[in-house]
Chain A
Amino acid sequence: MTHEEVVAEVIRLVKPHAEGRVANITADTGLTGELALDSLKVMDLITDVEDHYEISVPLNTLADIKTVGQLATLIQTHVGKKA
């Protein structure tokens, strides 16, 4: 899967948690910044991501993840490990 495909999927998954705060979400959109996800919503998003891709994304690996694109990259790493 391409990076763009994963970004598109993350955007789809993040929308229910973002309550329409940002009209046009892109790879550069900040999860806790523009989307204003609190710590709980970020963790709920990760739960959804894990189930969608059938991967484990430990919470302790999220420290440097600030944007939709960075989360997509992390997902690709985990999906790559599984393959």
Chain B
Amino acid sequence: MKENPRLRAVREVRGELASLGVDPFGIQIDEILSPTEGLIQGRKTILAGTNNYLGLTFDPDCIAAARQALESAGTGTTGSRMANGSYAAHRELELDLARFYGKRDAIVFSTGYQANLGMISALAGPGDTVMIDADSHASIYDGCNLSGANTIRFRHNDPDDLAKRMRRLGDEAANALIVVEGVYSMLGDRAPLREFVEVKKQFGATLLVDEAHSMGVLGAKGQGLCEELGLLDDIDYVVGTFSKSLGNTGGFCVGDADEMEVLRYASRPYVFTASLPPATIAATRMALRKLEAASDLRQRIRENAARLHAGLAALGFRLGAPANAVVAVLAGEKVEALRFWHHLLKQGVYVNVMVPPATPGNESLLRCSVSAAHTPEQIDAICAAFASWPARESVMATAPTALER
């Protein structure tokens, strides 16, 4: 069997990891014990890298709803909604989401990744322009690729830079689709959404906001950054996921535009993907009700995020953003970050390690995601694990980093 040269680079990276004796990208949780604990390599481990923001994965009502749907409607839908039919619950979930956001309509996709892929490629095509933030998630980049539209990247979280690039488009600017995220998954920093809305209005463009990491966490009702800043009416499309705060899998888009009625039929990821199974839909609908009523969970997540952020800052670590459900520790160069990650795992703490070019700037990150289900003791244990890394001084350099310049 001859080697596929395209995979050589990936093989080399895998080989490098093997030689270091760490494999953060193939981690297996042998037994999941709760939203915040699992057995990894025989050790009881605190899960601080799972995006389980509200800790709903073991919610008894969500499990009961899933069980009931599983028994009444079966294991799967065995096809796409367009080709093989929707179940009533698919549409009911869409109406739930539209009602939750106070928007005209919603479309449900089979994953969050496909929500971005499906929306961007349905809204834009060859000859159109999509303006994306430099730190956009891969699903946004891939949606642009699938669309065939002209893709222009603006400097991260910089509305003036976006405006400058919009001006260069001339008359085309009014037709542009601008895509930003509420909270960025790597550093946990928020978008200056109010200023982005101003730019959108100035040029008469369309704005899509991905609230994957802010839904359930920000805003009184948990709608995300759009709600927290009172901007929901100014956002044309809100995209989100079921795989974080809602503790399940799937994605969605809500919007007021007339196009919402026909968008799904122009969206290949919607048309050609099997629809979500009944148990997933039922659990997600229940989780959405819980999310809406979960102001106490939002309070807990804020407290936990503040505790983790303050604890790590007090230890001298450099952090990616102010306190938020994503707390990213800047961890220097790749090999050092991988060793640091492995040390944390051996201490019974699982976080995410991200290395360039998946990270902004030239630095690796140790990324923690905080859950409302974490206890204060677990947060302290996470901090203690970080504190116990013998080489921690080396990632506390006071010299400005690529990220801070």
A→B interface (CB under 8 Å): 38-41, 43-44, 46-47, 50-51, 54-61
Q: Is B322 an interface residue (CB 8 A)?
A: no
Contact with A along B140-151 (1 / 0, CB 8 A): 000011001111
**Contact residues in B for A51 (Cβ distance below 8 Å):** 164
> In the complex the two chains form, is A47's CB within 8 Å of B144's CB?
no
> In the complex the two chains form, is A50's CB within 8 Å of B165's CB?
yes
Considering the complex, give the chain A residue whose CB is closest to the CB of B164. A51
> In the complex the two chains form, is B169's CB within 8 Å of A56's CB?
yes
Q: Is the interface of B mostly helix, strand, loop or mixed?
A: mixed
Considering the complex, give the chain B residue whose CB is closest to the CB of A43. B153
**Contact residues in A for B154 (Cβ distance below 8 Å):** 47
A47-B155, A56-B165, A56-B169 known; A61-B357 Cβ under 8 A:
no
25 contacts between A and B (CB under 8 A): A38-B356, A38-B357, A40-B357, A47-B153, A47-B155, A50-B152, A50-B165, A50-B168, A54-B168, A55-B168, A56-B152, A56-B165, A56-B169, A57-B152, A58-B129, A58-B151, A58-B152, A59-B144, A59-B151, A59-B153, A60-B144, A60-B145, A60-B149, A60-B150, A60-B151
- Per CB-CB distance, the 8 closest pairs between chain A and chain B, nearest first, are A58-B150, A40-B357, A38-B357, A59-B151, A56-B168, A60-B151, A58-B151, A56-B152
Q: How many residues of chain B get a CB closer than 8 Å to chain A's CBs?
A: 18
Give Cα A55–Cα B148 distance, bound, in whole angstroms: 20
Give Cα A44–Cα B153 distance, bound, in whole angstroms: 9
**Contact residues in A for B134 (Cβ distance below 8 Å):** 43-44, 47
